[in-house]
A and B are shown apart, each in its own frame.
Chain A
């Protein structure tokens, strides 16, 4: 059986939270439900699970790559074209540290941004069940379920005071 989505639009966060409770009581699993808002609300406003993420691993991973690459580049370039200054080592550690620092940070920032996009499950251009009124302040509650369960979800939305429902 194919999966379908249904969106319920609500005026207030309380109604959105009631709808989500209603969906859980009606037997829908947490991973089947989502809340869409146009503004960030405090964690748990709608009684939803606090999402888990691994974003903090990304900058660490990036920093290690950047540091390794910068050590290689700065060392290799100085060895490839040695500037011999009497009595001093070929590798100028202080100068290398500056470049190593910048490249480590650059790589950490880039991988963090990749991580933010990846962990946000973006890009995903098919918006599915969505309504432009969400970015005007309405609260959207979405259920991804079997086609046969759509009417059950719709009833929960109507009982919770939905302004509108949409299927996709």
Chain B
């Protein structure tokens, strides 16, 4: 069935720039609502800096709690962009077109947000400079390149820089469209950002080559980032449940699972808020759900492999940890919720075509996945620290405080706020990709059936 509507370039401009050239009615109230959480969240962070980490629930032996869980969660979400944009671009998947920009954007803003958490977690964030930058030559102390706490910022910094540049390069032709449709300060703003784009064959050729080249360069970075995040845990031999060789692929596949699900959530919101029914269609949700079934199943396989590897050696501390996680209250409840929301309920829906094409179901199941994926990170990080160790006199002492929960809420409001702010000034769906899709697609008759056709240039 052909869900695509034939649109000319003028119509595409009108529909996709509607939110940029005119403020939608819902926009300001939504921004004020999110803005409240953003401002109060920042106030909470400043309060915590002033009072110290004592206002959190972090205490001996659980020093890594909600902040690090949320850091890993947002780094995971950031894997949406490159998964959707780079892999689907390289494989020339036609249905990627309306999704790429929003996914790249989610990458940039979720990474920015992720960076806040280790900074906050440090308690005195300005001191982070001590282990990141060569400083104080008089004392001759340099960053310790053996520490994963040094690898992390390097990897995330590389990914953030690369993703931002990737996003900008693909935005240039659309900035030229905005330059041509605006006046006054907005025209000056878009003129500067568009760098004088005219759309000649040379520029279009380089835009196409850039898409492929940057995708190919970003993919290895994409794999390395969450691998390195996983090594924050995996190279720590002293905590049961962390020291596992499967962590790097497990984290990467988990990140893709949560990231692509976040893209589904965002696409549903984009369709509802901007009424982009012509551009974000059920066929896109169907394709993403099929992809998610594969990713989710691979991720579940890794989850069980991790469990099997940990108990196979029959080491008492590892077995005690798994008993705590799976059979002991309240961890067992969290474990069950994690399995249900991370895999069983969503994939149970997605195997049915009707559910894959139902945007409301896709929206809620994608949110469930991210509830599960957040819990997964919590269950990886906290029980290993909370378990009773030999020679320790305190254990299972961690209850996140209101400050931590509020900062978690802030992070969601902050990412949404940034996304909406971006959406006010820049198109969320790539105009030139949509127009190109109209040039390269058609319909043909085979017998009495009319089928959609996609033309593809030979490399």
Contact check, A109 vs B161: say whether CB atoms are below 8 A apart. Answer: yes
* Known contacts A77-B142, A112-B217, A116-B169; A43/B205 CB under 8 A: yes
Looking at B5-13, B88-96, B323-331, B421-429, the stretch in contact with chain A turns out to be B5-13
Contact-residue bracket for chain B? 35 or more
Contact check, B457 vs A109: say whether CB atoms are below 8 A apart. Answer: no
- Taking CB atoms and an 8 Å cut-off, the chain A residues in 32-47 that contact chain B are 34-43, 46
* Known contacts A77-B145, A95-B145, A99-B145; A112/B195 CB under 8 A: no
- Taking CB atoms and an 8 Å cut-off, the chain B residues in 183-209 that contact chain A are 191-192, 195-209
Interface flags, A73-101, vs B, CB<8A=1, else 0: 01001101101000000001001101101
Instruction: Report if A65 contacts B (CB, 8 A).
Output: no
A-B contact count (CB 8 A): 178
Nearest residue, chain B, Cβ from A45: B201
Q: Which of A95, A135, A137 contacts B151 (CB 8 A)?
A: A95
Contacts of B217 in A (CB 8 A): 59, 105, 108-109, 112
- Taking CB atoms and an 8 Å cut-off, the chain A residues in 119-139 that contact chain B are 119-127, 130, 132, 134-137
Interface flags, B320-347, vs A, CB<8A=1, else 0: 0000000000000000000000000000
**Nearest chain A CB to B222 CB, angstrom units:** 10
- A125–B166 Cα gap in the complex (Å)? 22
- A130–B207 Cα gap in the complex (Å)? 20
Contacts of B270 in A (CB 8 A): none
Contact check, A136 vs B155: say whether CB atoms are below 8 A apart. Answer: no
Instruction: Report if B181 contacts A (CB, 8 A).
Output: yes
Contact check, A81 vs B196: say whether CB atoms are below 8 A apart. Answer: no
Instruction: Report if A110 contacts B (CB, 8 A).
Output: yes
Contact check, A137 vs B165: say whether CB atoms are below 8 A apart. Answer: no
Contact check, B10 vs A137: say whether CB atoms are below 8 A apart. Answer: yes
**Nearest chain B CB to A67 CB, angstrom units:** 13
Contact check, A120 vs B158: say whether CB atoms are below 8 A apart. Answer: no
Instruction: Report if A163 contacts B (CB, 8 A).
Output: no
Contact check, B165 vs A122: say whether CB atoms are below 8 A apart. Answer: no
Contact check, B154 vs A74: say whether CB atoms are below 8 A apart. Answer: no
Contact check, A119 vs B162: say whether CB atoms are below 8 A apart. Answer: no
Nearest residue, chain A, Cβ from B156: A102
Instruction: Report if A113 contacts B (CB, 8 A).
Output: yes
Instruction: Report if B143 contacts A (CB, 8 A).
Output: yes
Q: Which of A78, A106, A109, A116 contacts B206 (CB 8 A)?
A: A116
Nearest residue, chain B, Cβ from A70: B154
Instruction: Report if A145 contacts B (CB, 8 A).
Output: no
Contact check, B191 vs A39: say whether CB atoms are below 8 A apart. Answer: no
- A37–B10 Cα gap in the complex (Å)? 13
**Nearest chain A CB to B180 CB, angstrom units:** 4
Instruction: Report if B288 contacts A (CB, 8 A).
Output: no
- A79–B192 Cα gap in the complex (Å)? 45
Contact check, B151 vs A99: say whether CB atoms are below 8 A apart. Answer: yes
* Known contacts A55-B213, A124-B195, A125-B191; A40/B206 CB under 8 A: no
Contact-residue bracket for chain A? 35 or more
Contact check, B198 vs A106: say whether CB atoms are below 8 A apart. Answer: no
Contacts of B140 in A (CB 8 A): 80-81
| Secondary structure type dominating chain B contacts | helix
**Nearest chain B CB to A69 CB, angstrom units:** 12
* Known contacts A38-B435, A108-B217; A127/B205 CB under 8 A: no
**Nearest chain B CB to A52 CB, angstrom units:** 9
Q: Which of B134, B154, B205, B457 contacts A103 (CB 8 A)?
A: B154
- A102–B159 Cα gap in the complex (Å)? 9
Most buried by A among B151, B177, B201, B217: B201
Instruction: Report if A26 contacts B (CB, 8 A).
Output: no
Instruction: Report if B224 contacts A (CB, 8 A).
Output: yes
Contact check, A113 vs B199: say whether CB atoms are below 8 A apart. Answer: no
Contact check, A39 vs B432: say whether CB atoms are below 8 A apart. Answer: yes
* Known contacts A38-B9, A78-B145, A81-B140; A106/B158 CB under 8 A: yes
- A99–B221 Cα gap in the complex (Å)? 12
Instruction: Report if B454 contacts A (CB, 8 A).
Output: no
Contact check, B200 vs A105: say whether CB atoms are below 8 A apart. Answer: no
Q: Which of A53, A105, A122 contacts B162 (CB 8 A)?
A: A105
A-B contact pairs, 10 of them (CB 8 A): A39-B435, A48-B201, A51-B201, A53-B202, A78-B142, A102-B221, A105-B220, A113-B169, A120-B207, A124-B195
- Not counting A106-B162, A125-B195, a sample of 15 additional A-B residue pairs whose C-beta atoms are within 8 angstroms of each other reads A39-B439, A40-B432, A53-B206, A98-B224, A98-B228, A99-B154, A102-B151, A109-B166, A109-B214, A116-B206, A120-B197, A122-B195, A122-B203, A123-B195, A132-B180
Closest A-B pairs by Cβ, 6 of them: A137-B9, A132-B180, A39-B435, A77-B142, A123-B195, A124-B196
Name B's A-contacting residues (CB within 8 A).
8-10, 13, 134, 140-147, 150-151, 154-155, 157-158, 161-162, 165-166, 168-169, 172, 176-177, 180-181, 191-192, 195-210, 213-214, 217-218, 220-221, 224, 228, 432, 435-436, 438-439, 455, 457
